Amino acid sequence: MSTTHLVPRLRLGLVLLAAVALVALAGCGSSSSSSSSSSSAPSSASTSSSSAATSVSTSSCGSKPGVKATGTPINIGTIDTHQPGTDFTDGPNMINAYFTCVNANGGVNGHPLKLFVQLDQSQPAQVAAAAKQLIQSDHVVAIDGVFDLLECTIDESYWKQLGIYEMDAGIAPGCWAAPTSAAVNMGPRYSSDGAVQYALASEHAKKIVFVQSNVPGTGYIAAGPAAVAKASNVPITELTENVPITDASSIALNLVDDAGSNGSVVLNFTPPEALVILQAAQKLGLEDRVKSWGCSTPCDTDFLAKALGPKWNKKLFVNAEAVDADDHNGPEIQLYKAILAKYGSSVAGGVGSFSQFGFLLAKFLDQALDKVKGPYTIKSVNAAIVGIKDYKSEQLCQPWTYGKLPLHIPNNSDYTVTPDNGKMITTQGCTEISNADPQIAQYRSVAKAHGVTLG
Amino acid sequence: MHPFILMALSLPSWENEQPFLVTGLALGGVYALSGVGMIVLYRTTGVLNLSFGAVGAFGALIAWQLINHSGMNQWLAYLVCILVAGLLTLAYGMVFGRALAGRDPLVKTTATLGLTLILLGVMDLLWTSNGGASRSITLPTDNHGFMIGQVQVSTTDVIGLAVGIVITIVTTLFLRYSKLGTAMRAMANDREITATLGVPVRRVEAVAWFGCGIISGVAGILLADLVALDATTLTFLVISSLAAALIARLSSIVITFVAAIVIGVVDAGLTPFMSLTNYRDMTPFVFAAAALLVLNRKQVLSMARQEF
A246-298 tens-digit pLDDT = 888 889 999 999 999 999 999 998 888 898 899 889 888 889 999 999 999 88
**If you average pLDDT over every residue of chain A, what do you get?**
86
Distance from CA of A327 to the nearest CA of B (A): 19
Q: How far is A108 from chain B (nearest CA, A)?
A: 29
- pLDDT score of A191: 95
Q: For position A440, what pLDDT does the model report?
A: 96
Is the C-alpha dihedral spanning A101, A104, A105, A106 positive or negative?
positive
Chain A residues with CB under 8 Å of B288 CB are 13, 17
Q: Which residues of A touch B124 (CB under 8 A)?
A: 84-85
Distance of CA A339 to CAs A54, A61, A101, A364, Å? Answer: 8, 9, 7, 15
The pLDDT value given to residue A38: 32
Residue-wise pLDDT for B42-62, tens only, equals: 888 888 999 999 999 999 999
For A364-410, the pLDDT digits (tens) are: 999 999 999 989 999 999 999 999 999 999 999 999 999 999 999 99
Residue A102 pLDDT: 97
H-run or E-run covering A128: helix A124-136
Q: Which residue has the higher pLDDT, A83 or B284?
A: B284
Output DSSP code: residue A373. -
- A85 falls in which pLDDT band (50, 70, 90)? low
Is the pLDDT assigned to residue A45 strictly greater than 50?
no
Determine the average pLDDT of the residues in A324-333.
88
User: What is the sign, positive or negative, of the torsion defined by CA atoms of A188, A190, A194, A199?
Assistant: positive
Quick one: what percent of chain A has pLDDT higher than 90?
63
pLDDT for B294: 82
Distance between CA atoms of B240 and B246, rounded to whole angstroms?
10
Closest A-chain CA to B100: A4
Q: What is the pLDDT of residue B308?
A: 40
Q: Is A245–B138 a contact, with Cβ atoms under 8 angstroms apart?
A: no
Residue A156 banded pLDDT, cuts 50, 70, 90: very high
Asked if A409 and A446 touch (Cβ cutoff 8 Å), the reply is: no
Residue B153 pairs in a beta bridge with B146
Give dist(CA A181, CA A405) in Å, integer.
10
Q: Residue A84 is nearest to which of B16, B48, B124, comparing CB atoms?
A: B124
Instruction: Specify the pairing of strand A423-432 against strand A413-420.
Output: antiparallel
Ramachandran area for residue B166 (φ above 0: left; ψ -120 to 50: alpha; else beta): alpha
Which of B112, B119, B230 is best to mutate for the A interface (most A CBs within 10 A)? Answer: B230
* Adjacency order of strands within the sheet including A423-432: A236-241, A207-213, A263-268, A292-295, A316-320, A413-420, A423-432
To which H or E segment does residue B89 belong? helix B74-92
**Among all residues of chain A, which has the CA nearest to that of B270?**
A250
What distance in Å separates the CA atoms of residue A203 and residue A217, rounded to the nearest whole number?
28
Distance between CA atoms of residues B35 and B33, nearest Å: 6
Give the closest of B131, B189, B192 to A350, CB-based: B131
Give the model confidence (pLDDT) of B212-265 as tens digits: 999 999 999 999 988 888 888 889 888 889 999 989 888 888 999 999 999 999
Position B288 scores a pLDDT of 87
pLDDT of residue B199: 85
Residue A27 — very low, low, confident or very high, per pLDDT cuts 50/70/90? very low
- What distance in Å separates the CA atoms of residue A180 and residue A143, rounded to the nearest whole number? 11
C-alpha span between A44 and A41 (Å, rounded): 10
pLDDT at B149: 67
Percent of chain B with pLDDT strictly greater than 70: 90
Count of C-beta atoms within a 10 Å radius of residue A132? 12
Question: Which residue in the set A253, A270, A307 is minimally distant from B136, CB to CB?
Answer: A307
Q: Are A292 and A317 in contact (CB under 8 A)?
A: yes
Length of chain B: 308
Q: Which residues pair with A211 in a beta bridge?
A: A239, A267
DSSP character for B107?
H
Q: Would you state the pLDDT for residue A34?
A: 31
Distance CA A131, CA A96 (A): 19
Nearest Cα of chain B lies from the Cα of A441 at a distance, in angstroms, of: 30
Cα–Cα distance between A434 and A339 in angstroms, integer? 35
Asked if B133's CB is within 8 angstroms of A303's CB, the reply is: yes
Report how far Cα A278 is from the mean position of its chain's Cα atoms.
21
pLDDT of A403-424, one tens digit each? 999 999 999 999 999 999 888 8
Within 8 A of B235 by CB-CB distance, chain A residues are 27
Q: In this model, does residue A181 exceed pLDDT 90?
A: yes
Cβ-based contacts of A240 with chain B (< 8 Å): 278
- Under 8 Å CB-to-CB from B34, ≥6 apart: which residues? B52, B53, B56, B215, B216, B219, B237, B238, B240, B241, B260
- For the packed helices B52-69 and B105-126, what is the interaxial angle rounded to 10 degrees? 20
Q: Inter-chain contact A21–B302, Cβ cutoff 8 Å?
A: no
Q: What is the pLDDT of residues B131-142, one digit of tens each?
A: 556 788 889 888
Residue-level pLDDT at A49: 40
> For B54-96, what is each residue's pLDDT tens digit?
999 999 999 999 998 999 999 999 999 999 999 999 999 999 9
Side-chain-side CA neighbours of B136 within 13 Å: the count stands at 28
**pLDDT digit string, tens, across residues A217-255:** 788 899 999 999 999 999 999 999 887 788 888 899 999
pLDDT score, position A267: 96
The DSSP secondary structure of A32-54, one letter per residue, reads HHHHHHHHHS------S-GGGGT
Q: What angle do CA A136, A140, A146 make, to 5 degrees?
A: 110
Contact yes or no for B228 and A16 at CB 8 A: no
B84 or A173, greater pLDDT: B84
Task: Count interface pairs A-B at CB distance under 8 A.
Answer: 218
Residue A433: DSSP 8-state:
P
Query: Phi/psi zone of residue B151: left (φ > 0), alpha (ψ -120 to 50 degrees), beta?
Result: beta
